[in-house]
Amino acid sequence: MVDDEKNIRDRLTHFLPWSEVGFEVVGAAENGREALELIKKEQPHAVLTDVMMMEMTGLELAKEIKTSYPEIKVVILSAYDDFKYAQEAIHYGVKGYLLKPLMKNDFYDAFGKMAEELREDAELQKVNHFYEKWNTEELMLLDLIKGENLPNYADHWNQQTQSFKVAIFSFDQLFKETSTFSIRQRITELAADFWNRYQVPILFYGNSLILLLTDSAYFSKQALLPNIQKFVDSLQEELGDVFKDKKNFVVGVGDKACTYADINRSYNEAVYAYSYKYFNEYETVIFYEDVSDNNEKGNNKQIPNFMMDHVNKIESLLLSKRKTNEIAEVSEFVTHFFDSLKQVSGLQIAETRGSCSELIIILLFRFKEKELSLPSIDHQQVLGKIYEIDSLKELKRWLTQMLETMSFDLSKSEEKDNNRYVLMAKEYVKEHYQERITLEDISNHLFLHLAYFSAIFKKETGENFIDYVNKVRVEEAANLLRKTDYKIKVISDMTGFQSHSYFNKVFKNETGMTPVVFRRQQKR
């Protein structure tokens, strides 16, 4: 737990239901540097940190954790609804960006998912233990695909004259749904049994089965595809329902490598090839030679101009529909957007996701500058969602829905959207006006900095928070003066005033008369 304000740090540590989501707080720090010392000592599974802190900010801490402790999951908790922070957080591998005050639903959602990820990580540790038992051939294949320790294999492979080609069966989708070691081990056994008859070395690495094809007779599509289908059939026969859905795996095949030192290139090409499942969810076997032309279009300098043209078009469309109080039809725009993107950048996953993110971010900032409210958009989840989506078809559907939601909000934006912090503060006063309430109390309750809360309350309501508290108390006191015979001092105590004289002063300022005169007039 990392926050530079002790009260907030203590509340986060002691008052959130950590045990219910499977966590235990092992330490708390007031800045990033102190947190790094604790991390080194305690080796936690997760870190929850504020953004703005002295010494080292939360984002700087996240960057350091990503570098030195990549296995630790980081969640940002911030009072700042700012896409700059959210975008940086995603860049540093942050698992969540939550807004203060932390709602219980957001807490359960973020840390419940994280607990599940940690359980999956524990399952993968079993796999790592399995890797420790690899034989010499598997270790050699791992080095070859990584391009490491190549001189160790020079004597062996220089005597070989054959070429090589790498094929990868990626089971990422399968292990999202069922990450069990037994299935992983069974796939490895079936693969060894099937591919050994063709003298093809195999390696199960991460969520992928890697084949090193060494017989050029099997390099062509015509020769390789039937064998891949036979292997898939054997998996379906042995593992049943797990492999009924073709979406559960994809095969990428690299180009030919003429020397053993070039196997790493063929491997990278195979990885690149199977990533193209993103653009065609019905394709299960993808050859690098079929998609490599798209790679030449990457980093196209036309993209900035292309982006601003499309931002201007959709902004104009959404604002024009706002004036007529209608929801914009955006599906045609989305289709044109992705078609145009394909022309300037080719089928590049990074460019596609990045351009989609940029479109949304620029629109959100422009509407924010125009003081147009978009209450239906969860700003903290937008960027993360784009990178979670694993197909172009789903990304198109999501972007269409997002733009239609913006259009809906803009059409309703004449109705003022009260700041949620202010609404929560007012609710707190309504429930606790009998008690002592200070700016510090309410700021701690909302997990906000005192000055920040004071500023937004004044901006939204036009009055100071303490003046608002006094107004509520006077209204309650006036009600008691009308309906009861309690002594005025008792009513003063019941409505949270710390002294009788202060009560009289505030009451007169609010009503224009003292409590005594007010009661007398009400009794007439």
**166 membership: H or E segment, kind and range:** strand 165-170
All domains of the chain in start order, with CATH: 6-121 (3.40.50.2300), 134-286 (3.30.70.270), 303-411 (no CATH), 420-523 (1.10.10.60)
Structure tokens that stand for 366 in this block:
């422009």
**209 membership: H or E segment, kind and range:** strand 208-213
Task: Give the distance, in angstroms, between the CA of residue 486 and the centroid of all CA atoms in the same chain.
Answer: 56
Look up residue 117 and give its DSSP letter: H
* Alpha-helix runs per DSSP H in 132-262: 136-146, 154-158, 172-177, 181-195, 221-239
Do the Cβ atoms of 83 and 364 come closer than 8 Å? yes
Phi, psi at 255, each rounded to 5°: -80, 170
Do the Cβ atoms of 101 and 446 come closer than 8 Å? yes
CA distance 60 to 88: 10
CA distance 386 to 399: 9
At residue 413, the pLDDT reads: 59
What is the residue type of 33?
R
Do the Cβ atoms of 407 and 329 come closer than 8 Å? no
Exposed, middle or buried: residue 93 (CB in 10 Å: 0-12, 13-18, 19+)? middle
Three-state SS for 424-477 is: HHHHHHHHHCCCCCCHHHHHHHCCCCHHHHHHHHHHHHCCCHHHHHHHHHHHHH
CA distance 276 to 347: 8
Do the Cβ atoms of 310 and 340 come closer than 8 Å? yes
Do the Cβ atoms of 347 and 291 come closer than 8 Å? yes
Look up residue 382 and give its DSSP letter: H
At residue 300, the pLDDT reads: 47
Phi, psi at 187, each rounded to 5°: -60, -40
Q: What is the residue whose two structure tokens read 């700021």? A: 443
Look up residue 92 and give its DSSP letter: T
Phi, psi at 433, each rounded to 5°: -60, -25
Which of 214, 286, 295 lies closest to 256, judged by CA?
A: 214
Sheet strands (E) in 37-114: 46-50, 73-78, 96-99
Task: Give the distance, in angstroms, between the CA of residue 63 and the centroid of all CA atoms in the same chain.
Answer: 16
At residue 417, the pLDDT reads: 44
**CA-based R_g, the chain, Å:** 31
Do the Cβ atoms of 281 and 297 come closer than 8 Å? no
Do the Cβ atoms of 406 and 318 come closer than 8 Å? yes
Q: Please give the chain's pLDDT, 524 residues, in tens.
A: 999 888 888 888 888 889 888 899 999 999 999 999 999 999 999 999 988 888 888 889 999 998 899 889 999 888 766 556 666 777 777 887 787 777 777 888 888 888 888 877 776 666 555 445 456 777 788 888 888 888 887 776 665 557 889 999 888 777 766 656 778 888 888 998 998 888 888 888 878 889 998 877 667 888 888 888 888 888 888 877 666 665 667 888 998 888 888 888 998 888 888 777 767 666 778 888 877 655 544 444 454 566 788 888 888 888 887 666 566 678 888 888 888 887 766 667 777 877 888 888 888 878 877 777 777 777 667 777 787 787 888 888 888 888 888 888 787 654 444 466 788 899 899 999 999 999 888 888 876 678 878 888 888 889 999 999 999 999 999 999 999 989 999 999 999 998 889 999 999 999 999 999 999 888 76
Question: CA dist 151 to 156, 176, 202, 260, 380, Å?
Answer: 10, 37, 21, 11, 49
Sheet strands (E) in 282-361: 285-287
Task: Give the distance, in angstroms, between the CA of residue 294 and the centroid of all CA atoms in the same chain.
Answer: 28
Which of 457, 452, 447, 455 lies closest to 418, judged by CA?
A: 457
Beta sheet of 96-99, edge-to-edge order: 46-50, 73-78, 96-99
